[in-house]
Amino acid sequence: MKRRNFIRNTSLMLGTTSGLDLTVFDREGSIQGKPIVISTWNFGYEANKAAWQVLSTKGNALDAVEKGVMVAESDLNNTSVGRGGNPDRDGIVTLDACIMNQLGQAGSVAAIENIEHPISVARMVMEKTPHVMLAGNGAKQFALENGFESIDLLTDKSKANYQEWLKHSQYKPIINIENHDTIGMLALDSHGNLSGACTTSGLAFKMHGRVGDSPIIGAGLYVDNKYGAAVCTGIGELVMRNLSSFLAVEVMRNGKSPQKACEVAIQRIIEKTPDVSNVQVGSLAINKKGEIGAYAIQKGFSYAVHTEAIEKVFNSEYKVDATLKRK
């Protein structure tokens, strides 16, 4: 698909942002420099605000992305991340998260229960252990031993959603529902360093023990401080099979723009998936210049941008319509 020079006038703002400028901007021109923070979906807008508080005072990107996604993890109205997340088919809320810094170090937790901020546990895995990932009861034990509080993650709203689901017990992910799924966040700080974070409660009513792309380094998130960083969101199995974030960063390593990197990552998924009519994956990327890119299989993937001059949510470009099947 030929690259467009300007984002279409499909930007959308959250209700509390009426004072902000909605002017269409040059995706690969005006959006560059540092510091900058970008994140997936509409709810990334509020998360970016917390990250910007760190970046605007010359704080580092790692602290920024952790603080940013913690906002989504604590949002009781967000049914796809953290404390407000919908449970699995057994009625249990399990969370996944990962984080990477400018040194290429990474930490991850998978299928952790009763911990509000899995992103902070993931960072502690990175900084305090020789490992990259802890899972299940081991991840929870590690968190409790390091001062995290055990809480009930099943909110009244999520419990009601689960009770409604039990009436039919149909497991069918719906694309773009409630701007669903992972919050992935990438930041470039004033020192020129990149970091990223990714956190989710996963697909609603999944099989107990299911883990998606969000805690998988190279799938949900990848950071290479020399070239760029990328996150993905959507149906995790598709991202895991193609290591989509790693692929996007490799494309940038070969001299391509973040926009081209996202397009290549999404195209690879489409080529490897027999039917993409009912699936969604979005890719978001940034390079060392602060240039950004975003692309998705289907219409509906949104992302938030926060710089000193820009504070907005945009709709990404996309590849196919809902009826396309690969021949």
Contact 284, 186 (CB under 8 A): yes
Burial class (CB in 10 A: 0-12, 13-18, 19+), 157: middle
Strands 311-315, 302-306: pairing kind: antiparallel
pLDDT tens per residue, range 279-299: 999 999 999 999 999 999 999
The per-residue b/e assignment along 75-87, b for 16 or more CB within 10 angstroms, e otherwise, is beebbbbbbbbbb
Residue appearing with tokens 């689960």? 162
Residue appearing with tokens 């989509």? 244
Between CA 49 and CA 305 the distance in angstroms is 10
- Cα pseudo-dihedral 290, 309, 62, 213, rounded to 10: -70
pLDDT in tens, the chain (327 residues): 433 333 333 333 333 333 333 333 344 444 667 899 999 999 999 999 999 999 999 999 999 999 999 999 999 999 999 999 999 999 999 999 999 999 999 999 999 999 999 999 999 999 999 999 999 999 999 999 999 999 999 999 999 999 999 998 876 665 654 445 789 999 999 999 999 999 999 999 999 999 999 999 999 999 999 999 999 999 999 999 999 999 999 999 999 999 999 999 999 999 999 999 889 999 999 999 999 999 999 999 999 999 999 999 999 999 986 544 544
Contact 324, 276 (CB under 8 A): yes
The residues annotated as belonging to the active site are 182
pLDDT tens per residue, range 144-198: 999 999 999 999 999 999 999 999 887 666 565 444 578 999 999 999 999 999 9
Between CA 324 and CA 320 the distance in angstroms is 6
Contact 38, 69 (CB under 8 A): no
Domains of the chain: 36-318 (3.60.20.30)
